[in-house]
């Protein structure tokens, strides 16, 4: 499924079989998760995708010699810039991202640099494993950057929050879920996933939070989340794109509150999270679509209708 221009539907096209370059493997795609980032690419909200592009960066695939590998968003780094040399390859100056700079997994076949692929833990069917590769990984990195506080707020209960909630409960944290005002389905989903309280995103939780992770791409949630924080608390913005953050009084940031973002992932995040996921165990809730219905899957994600994660199944 190919994106030729932003804000156009993806087209089903026959492409030449991809060939592996140095260090790459050819992969037969078995499942590919549909991420909000894909939606930002298709909707023209990110500045410079390769075009034409095969989107998709949560690929579960099989190598020619029968191994099952996962391909994440971080597809290549130079290994030499100041970020790579200081354990921050997620910030690499020359990074290439799967389904953005490189063709991704909305396809029957893909190629990937094997150094950036992960073995998929056993016990996960392909479609259940796919959301671990971005929703899970970025969620995990966000949770680490949120600190060790006990009371955690999650704003936006999509694919990433539904995984993070399980990890956070495993770490015996207390969870508070915030969903779009009036979205009773999302509220009940948040409660099912272990939130002790779930309410609308403009509401105050019953007690102060030590940290909050904002998954929804809505800038107005940043001051809302700050308002819910205890002293010294952190708001983590987990998305790659967000609408503008409205101005807010300094008082909301005072007392050592922190606002920060999370960008991309490192391979270490992937190794840690994929080792942790089966121990929790993280169970993903997925809606599957055939490859040729990628546009329908994206539309459903855009409308907020997906419970858990949408996955293309091949
Ligand atoms: Zn680098
Ligand atoms: Zn993603």
Ligand closest to CA 99:
2
Cis before residue 46, ω within 30 degrees of 0? Answer: no
What pLDDT was estimated at residue 127? 98
Asked if 179 and 206 count as a contact pair (C-beta separation under 8 A), the reply is: no
Ramachandran category for residue 129: left, alpha or beta (phi over 0 → left; psi -120 to 50 → alpha): alpha
For 272-303, letters b (16+ CB in 10 Å) and e give: ebbebbeeeebebbbbbbebebbbebbebbee
What is the distance in A from the centroid of ligand 2 to the CA of 204?
29
Strand ranges inside 37-124, DSSP E:
59-63, 68-71, 74-76, 96-97, 109-113, 118-119
Q: How far is Cα of residue 92 from the mean position of the Cα atoms in its chain?
A: 19
In this prediction the pTM is 0.95
What is the distance in A from the centroid of ligand 1 to the CA of 238?
21
What is the distance in A from the centroid of ligand 2 to the CA of 207?
31
Ligand closest to CA 134:
2
Render each residue's pLDDT in the chain as its tens digit; 314 residues: 999 999 999 999 999 999 999 999 999 999 999 999 999 999 999 989 999 999 999 999 999 999 999 999 999 999 999 999 999 999 999 999 999 999 999 999 999 999 999 999 999 999 999 999 999 999 999 999 999 999 999 999 999 999 999 999 999 999 999 999 999 999 999 999 999 999 999 999 999 999 999 999 999 999 999 999 999 999 999 999 999 999 999 999 999 999 999 999 999 999 999 999 999 999 999 999 999 999 999 999 999 889 999 999 99
Ligand closest to CA 93:
1
Structure tokens at 50: 């390769």
What is the distance in A from the centroid of ligand 2 to the CA of 266?
13
Each residue's pLDDT tens digit, 154-213 = 999 999 999 999 999 999 999 999 999 999 999 999 999 999 999 999 999 999 999 999
CA-CA distance, 292 to 270, in Å (whole number)? 29
Give the angle 145-166-211 at the CA atoms, nearest 5°.
Answer: 35
- In eight-state DSSP terms, residue 17 is P
Ligand closest to CA 136:
2
What is the distance in A from the centroid of ligand 2 to the CA of 74?
10
What pLDDT was estimated at residue 119? 97
What pLDDT was estimated at residue 282? 97
Ligand closest to CA 160:
2
What pLDDT was estimated at residue 292? 98
Of residues 131, 102, 136, the one with CA closest to residue 116: 102
How far apart, in Å, do the first and last CA atoms of the chain sit?
Answer: 12
What is the distance in A from the centroid of ligand 2 to the CA of 57?
6
What is the distance in A from the centroid of ligand 2 to the CA of 231?
31
CA-CA distance, 60 to 119, in Å (whole number)? 9
Helix intervals (H) in 146-183:
159-170
List, as ranges, residues with CB under 5 A of the ion ligand 2: 35, 37, 134
Angle at which helices 267-276 and 135-145 cross, to 10°: 100
């Amino acid at each position: 499924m190919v994106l030729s221009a932003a804000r156009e539907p993806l087209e089903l096209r026959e492409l030449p079989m991809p060939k592996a370059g140095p260090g790459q493997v050819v992969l037969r795609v078995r499942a590919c998760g549909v991420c909000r980032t894909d939606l930002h690419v298709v909707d023209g909200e990110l500045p410079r995708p390769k075009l034409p592009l095969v989107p998709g960066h949560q690929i579960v695939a099989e190598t020619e010699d029968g191994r099952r590998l996962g391909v994440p968003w971080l597809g290549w780094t130079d290994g030499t810039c100041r970020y790579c040399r200081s354990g921050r390859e997620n910030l690499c100056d020359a990074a290439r991202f799967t389904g953005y700079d490189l063709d991704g997994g909305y396809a029957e076949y893909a190629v990937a640099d094997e150094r950036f692929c992960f073995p998929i833990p056993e016990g996960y069917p392909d479609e259940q494993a796919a959301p671990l590769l971005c929703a899970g990984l970025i969620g995990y990195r966000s949770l680490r950057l949120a600190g060790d506080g006990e009371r955690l707020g999650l704003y936006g209960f999509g694919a990433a929050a539904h995984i993070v909630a399980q990890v956070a409960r495993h770490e015996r944290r207390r969870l508070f879920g915030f969903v779009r005002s009036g979205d009773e389905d999302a509220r009940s989903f948040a409660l099912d996933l272990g939130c002790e309280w779930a309410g609308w995103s403009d509401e105050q939780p019953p007690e102060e939070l030590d940290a909050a992770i904002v998954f929804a791409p809505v800038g107005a949630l940043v001051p809302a989340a700050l308002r819910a924080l205890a002293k010294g608390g952190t708001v983590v913005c987990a998305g790659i794109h967000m609408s503008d953050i409205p101005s807010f009084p300094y008082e909301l940031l005072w007392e050592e509150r922190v606002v920060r973002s999370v960008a991309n992932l490192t391979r270490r995040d992937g190794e840690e999270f994929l080792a942790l996921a089966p121990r929790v165990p993280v169970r993903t809730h997925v809606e599957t679509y055939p490859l040729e219905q990628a546009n329908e899957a994206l539309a459903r994600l855009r409308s907020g209708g997906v419970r858990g994660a949408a996955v293309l199944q091949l």
